Amino acid sequence: MQIIDGKALSQKIKTSLKEETSLLKDNQNIVPGLAVIIIGDDPASRAYVGMKAKACKDVGFYSIVHEMPNSITQEEIIDTIKMMNNNPRIDGILVQLPLPNHIDTDKILEVIEPKKDVDGFHAYNVGRLVTGLDSFVACTPLGVMEMFKKYNIELEGKDVCVVGASNIVGKPMASLLLNANATVTVTHIFTKDLASHTSKADIVVVGVGVPHLIKEDMIKEGAVVIDIGINRLEDGSLTGDVDYQNVAPKCSYITPVPGGVGPMTIAMLLSNTLKSATKRGL
């Protein structure tokens, strides 16, 4: 069993991004810029936005955070996004989810200029992903694909079970795997017998936010298990969607929580922002 170290891999990627950013600045006088909108005072969202801002600083990006109260109107958010769409210093625009109930998330995401949609949530980029064209891809699934690549985990012809069908993780993950010629099964809350699907899979990717959903008897010997879930227990500790202690001995590769997929998400956000900035210079 080998642990996939997302923390170490993300650090290597950030080092490379820092070098590329420096070259872009020296050669074309372009500094990648990322703008983040955060609404309300959810502690988890604030912590995550803080991590993103620090990561931008570490690699030499320009970043700005727009903090808005829960009472903000949809029109005010849209106006802010349109302002950033027109700002030549901003290469990436990110709206921290989830949004308050009175805000239509789909409408907000559609306002973002597709070429600045570094989260990969705009329908334009989703459509290009599904059809196998170059696009901005949701950062968490993209990070998982980078893990497969760096650890030489073959996808072509493999049976892969994706547990979870969200627009942010499950659906783009399935599209990326299909594009890599894997045979993909997508399961979700309405799936009748989850174990019948996971137990046959060469690779299981799970991201649903249910602590220890995936048990030892649901995974076959030698499987690769990617745990995207992150859950805070009553004692304050973090755990994934996989019963790591009991599942890990059966796996050929497995990601830990924390220290697995999480750090890769931010690394891919930086990578997407640099990609956008590079296109600005063309």
Active site residue 28: no
Residue 118: name the closest of 136, 130, 143 by CA: 136
The tokens 């700002």 sit on which residue? 87
Which is it for strands 253-254 and 238-239: parallel, antiparallel or unpaired? unpaired
Give residue for tokens 């497969």.
Answer: 148
* 3-state class (DSSP) for residue 160: strand
User: Which residue bears the tokens 């210079």?
Assistant: 281
Indicate which residue of 14, 91, 116, 119 is catalytic.
119
Tokens 């027109």 correspond to what residue?
86
Q: Is the dihedral of CA 17, 22, 25, 26 positive or negative?
A: negative
Residue 218 half-sphere exposure, CB side, CA atoms within 13 Å? 20
Known catalytic residue at 25: no
52 is catalytic: yes
User: Which tokens sit at 206?
Assistant: 């799970």
> Which member of 14, 96, 158, 171 is catalytic?
96
- Residue from 14, 52, 158, 171 carrying the catalytic annotation: 52
Q: How far is CA 77 from CA 80, 122, 123, 249, 278, in A?
A: 5, 16, 19, 48, 27
By annotation, the residues acting in catalysis are 52, 96, 119
